[in-house]
Amino acid sequence: MHTFRFRNNDTIPALGLGTWKSATGKVYEAVKTALDIGYKHIDCAPIYGNETEIGQAFGESFSSGILKREEIFITSKLWCNAHAPEMVQPALEKTLADLQLEYLDLFLIHWPVHFVPEVVFPSSTDQFIPYKELPIAQTWEAMEDLVAQGLVRHIGVSNFSIKKLQELSENSQIAPEMNQIEMHPYLQQPKMIEFCNTNDILLTAYSPLGSPDRPADLKAADEPLLLEEPVVQKIAEAHNVSTAQVLINWAVNRGTVVIPKSVTPSRIQQNLEAADLNLSEEEYREIDTIDRHRRYVTGEFWAPEGSPYTIANIWDE
Ligand code: A2P
């Protein structure tokens, strides 16, 4: 299994199982299958609504002695309604209890937007808290405390721009160690890769297959389908593999962690095998040419009229 290194030389497996949209009733089997066939990395979040069921899979796998907890890299995330510093540790403790764990390998601030406590998805703009009332650096200090206590091994962020990463790095004891963002051939983010390489920040690519199972209200009518991209299809055919496998391999090859989601055993298996394909340099370069800076997860849901958050101030683009 390919791995990447944190600043302290700890490693993270390059491929993990994504669990956003993995329905309850299915995610237990998906995680069990993944752990059984050799996945060493599972990506979770409380907002996915399935951590209790994932916890059953962890609990059984670790208590049966088949797997040791320390062999598996587990990530979870802090939801936007628990960014007040005093809420960070209780939120982590809830996630640890649900996942039946004593510690996380990686804990991320899920989005750079704050909601008032208890609100899961704001239904009115007064349920957002603007940055000026709650600087992200304050949430981050509480994240740093969790490392000091041994409750999490590594801390990072998700959906952060270069500007926000830079600000946080300058105002912290522990600079963010990971940024988990949407990345795939239609959203390659070369400047982000360069910035993170220079500053020793790892990147995880979410929605690497273009997130085709997103709810309809998060989809644009005219959106291009990554799994049907002709250049990727041509390369997949040449190697007798699936387009998903080419997309996963491309992500690992460019030095990013990748977390394809699946609840289908045969796909969970083929996605694991994808990291070991041998594509040619020429094929990787051909995929590099199809970038179109296309986000599937736009952040629009945090930017209704009147919200302190806009597409521009979320992505700083
Ligand atoms: P399923 O979970 O039903 O197997 P992303 O990781 O970009 O969010 O994409 C997840 C979507 O891609 C899910 O609909 C998942 O379906 C599907 N998927 C995962 N692996 C593969 C694969 N190897 N081939 C085709 N579709 C896949």
48 tagged catalytic: yes
CA of 274, closest atom in ligand 1: 23
Residue pair 181/165 in contact by the 8 Å Cβ criterion: no
Ligand 1, CB cutoff 6 Å, lining residues: 18, 207-213, 227, 242, 244, 260-264, 267, 270-271
How far apart are the C-alpha atoms of 314 and 274, rounded to whole Å? 32
CA of 213, closest atom in ligand 1: 14
- Each as own residue / partner, the long-range contacts of residues 166-174 (CB below 8 Å, 24 or more positions apart, any chain) are 166/195, 167/136, 167/137, 168/136, 168/137, 168/140, 169/199, 169/201, 171/137, 171/140, 172/137, 172/140, 172/141, 172/144, 173/141, 173/144, 174/144, 174/147
Residue pair 45/16 in contact by the 8 Å Cβ criterion: no
Give the residue from 295, 87, 6, 83 showing the smallest Cα distance to 303: 295
Reported pTM:
0.98
Each residue's pLDDT, cut to its tens digit, for the chain (317 residues) gives 899 999 999 999 999 999 999 999 999 999 999 999 999 999 999 999 999 999 999 999 999 988 999 999 999 999 999 999 999 999 999 999 999 999 999 999 999 999 999 999 999 999 999 999 999 999 999 999 999 999 999 999 999 999 999 999 998 999 999 999 999 999 999 999 999 999 999 999 999 999 999 999 899 988 999 999 999 999 999 999 999 999 999 999 999 999 999 999 999 999 999 988 999 999 999 999 999 999 999 999 999 999 999 999 999 99
